Structure 1
């Protein structure tokens, strides 16, 4: 009975970490929507998303806190990537993305208007997409194709003359969310299979 409880507890934690990849994106966009409702001057065609976290904005803490909470969920998601990694490339890729989660939190700490902001926000995207590429190279079939495609699309996005930084950021974030969704779904599936097999034993 005790062993069964441990297995169920472990399965629950694995499943929660896997779902955290999706939750990170949902929490972030929720903070964006709430922030925009408090700052009607904001425009996706003129501003950067981080302008919502600038001290000149109304209630900038909403956006900045949203970044930090999203980073916590993202970090939890990377734990599932690393724990369930099947080879060194997947482990390294997951580790790269875990570091990007730290930089995501730092964007909330070093908000728009502070000197480190440009560095931490840029490095977040660089680190995450490098992690996607490395993880993808260590994956098979569908996940590999999706990961490499997302990395290429990220590079293509940099060459598009976007009318604002916010649109570029939104584009790149959507690509990150696709990766999180695909791998969260995969990890949840594996977690369920692991739990069923463990209980049969």
Structure 2
């Protein structure tokens, strides 16, 4: 399928990060007792946080951008592995919204937040396996995420920031790779 009319969607992974971090930083400003060295990022959305709706909105509002980015990957897929990987990312975008809907302190929160990261890195791995040019990146990001999940971090927030950074590498790689092909 020709995705050229949707070429701008390749940047929506980057936009996802911008929306998420802009609102997360606002939430941090309203929660001076929050510490990335003691808390989880989701604590910003717990009922005892100041204005928890700001952080939960960050997750819910960034999810559609991640969904559209994932649809771009699905459209641009050149083989079955990339279709499967992009499909995993489509599903993970729904779980990104679920993290905000089932905020910290609710029963499903632990599952939806863990599954978002698991599904995202599985999608990145499988999508990357679909091309020789992206295979090393997909495997590297997956392995870094897997190893990172078992390291002794000072807090859950630091682990989450690390995992988000790995997703950011992928989100920036996709449009930059597309630009490289165009040159």
The interval holding the TM-score normalised by the smaller chain is: over 0.9
- In structure 2, what is the equivalent of residue 18 of structure 1? 10
Distance of 1:67 and 1:113 partners within structure 2: 16
Please tell me whether the aligned partners of residues 93 and 131 of structure 1 are also in contact (alpha carbons under 8 angstroms): yes
Distance of 2:161 and 2:90 partners within structure 1: 21
- In structure 2, what is the equivalent of residue 156 of structure 1? 147
Q: Mark the runs of 5 or more structure 2 residues left unpaired by the alignment.
A: none
Distance of 1:54 and 1:150 partners within structure 2: 30
Q: Mark the runs of 5 or more structure 1 residues left unpaired by the alignment.
A: 1-6, 194-201
Distance of 1:58 and 1:75 partners within structure 2: 28
Distance of 1:77 and 1:177 partners within structure 2: 12
Would you identify which runs of 4 or more consecutive aligned residues in structure 1 move more than 6 Å?
none
Q: TM-score, normalised by structure 1?
A: 0.86
Distance of 2:105 and 2:179 partners within structure 1: 39
SS of the residue 1:82 aligns to: helix
Distance of 2:102 and 2:178 partners within structure 1: 32
2:114 counterpart of 1:136: no
Shift of 1:184: 2.5
1:127-182 deviation per Cα after TM superposition (whole angstroms, max 9, x unaligned)? 111101111111222x2211111111011102211010000000001001101110
Q: TM-score, normalised by structure 2?
A: 0.94
- Paired residues, what number? 182
Q: Which of 11, 26, 31 matches 1:34?
A: 26
Q: RMSD of the TM alignment (CA)? A: 1.6
SS of the residue 2:53 aligns to: helix
- In structure 2, what is the equivalent of residue 56 of structure 1? 48
2:65 counterpart of 1:73: yes
2:169 counterpart of 1:186: no
